[in-house]
Structure 1
Amino acid sequence: MIEIGYMELALGSLLLLVHGAVTLIYKAGSPFSLLIAGVRMVVQLSLMAYVLRFLFAADMPLWTLLAVLVMVAFAGYEVVARQTRPMEGWWGYGIATGSICMAAGIVTVFALFVQLKPDPWYDARYTIPLLGMVLGNTMTGISIGLSTLANALKQNSDAIEARLALGHTRTQACQTVIRQSLHTGLIGIVNSMSAAGLVFIPGMMTGQLMAGADPIEAAKYQALIMFLIAGGTAIGTVSAVILGVYRLTDERHRLRLERLSIKM
């Protein structure tokens, strides 16, 4: 495996200047947000590297569980932070975190016990990277799904309230919005699976190839990961959207958009 020095890494970071220049020239946002995101990424990856080194050496389920809980908690926070119309109070965070925890938990446990079968089953070398990949993609699907749901309910409130007035249940009245939210939340993984291997080589397979793994084995691992991500994204997005609909309506089948807040 070819090692990357700090000088090579620093030279690679210069490519961010291209992104920043485009943002500045076309006024597509603040270049400082890119700088902050880049610094944050480096700090987070560095901390994760040291944490993983400790977890791999410790080989204790308690520490692995603690790392998992921290990852899920931050994933829920990231979902809420990306919303332009988040739910008021702790509901948004609770729905996001609960959906992420359920989806990632089901998929990760399924992979550990059925496909990978590490010994011990809680081996952090398998559990943490696998959970991280599933969490990242599930978080994106849930974030997009909830954002689409809030915006679509706001834009189609008159039509939804008319259906509710005609006697439709809240699920029936919001059926079109639910379908739209799920389609938007799930389209990302569908596009990734459709283009994988033909348009691009996914990250895990690329890493294994650069580390010297056999291409066939790397392809099998990548296919398994994509299957797991697709399942986790579907479970998490469906759960979040359905729970979001129930939160933004009530038991009397009324639309409750006042439960949304708008970020300034």
Structure 2
Amino acid sequence: MQKVFEELTQAFRRAGGEISYEAFDRIVRKHATLFEDSETIYYLLQASGYPIEESLRGFRLKTMFTPWQMQEYCIIDIETNGSKPGRSQVIEIGAVMLKEGKIIDRLETFVACAYLPEHIIKLTGIEPTDLAEAPSRKEALTQLRNFMGDAVFTAHNAGFDHGFLNASFQRFGLGPIGNPVLCTIDLARRTFESERYGLAYLNESLDLGMQAHHRAYNDALAASKVLMKSFENIPESVKTTDELIRFSKSSKKERSETEKRKKKRREKKVNS
């Protein structure tokens, strides 16, 4: 499904946010099995958190029409008993849902685990007794899947959290994560100066007020505060959620060239 997410997003961007039913069919049929048709894949995309919806002429990508200020951001942090999802597992999940600068929902849960290495106990302060009667992995991951909806998957160093959870979701039959991804480190680097961008350093330098580190919910909350700090310095030219995500990944040169092109279009519009 990852290729479907990528190809559809590229197609939506080339077409200004909406594509026809025919264009959708051409993309998804390349990746469909004998037991899947275009309608089934459409519902699978929605179930995975990919923000697609029907429009008058076909389908549209919601993040290309939603102002970034109005978007829901699911800020997630996980603690694990190892670094490789094939050999280790999630032991704690923390998430907050942010919209219009306010936390509108939250999720915090331990995850049942039979093996907890001593160095993880020392790092997190999580004890085996904390996990003994916790929800099973499938139960906890299902909670997170339902909590996320089609919000933007947001995390500090999002590559790790997204990669680990994506593998875990698929292992337990929950499908891949189709939600758009935003990394708060990437966005922070493009919106404010700091000697370092690790969460512990930003927690102290920005006086975020979070005492614990390497605990999922507190780290998710700290990352949400970093996100809000970044939001204070988003250029006026960035209007939609999709533009925000692309801005977060852009180089300084790319951002400068984009600003110049948009300025020229504004001047041309005024003079016409």
TM-score class, shorter:
under 0.3
Higher-strand-fraction structure:
2
Which TM-score applies when normalising by structure 1?
0.25
Which TM-score applies when normalising by structure 2?
0.24
Higher-helix-fraction structure:
1
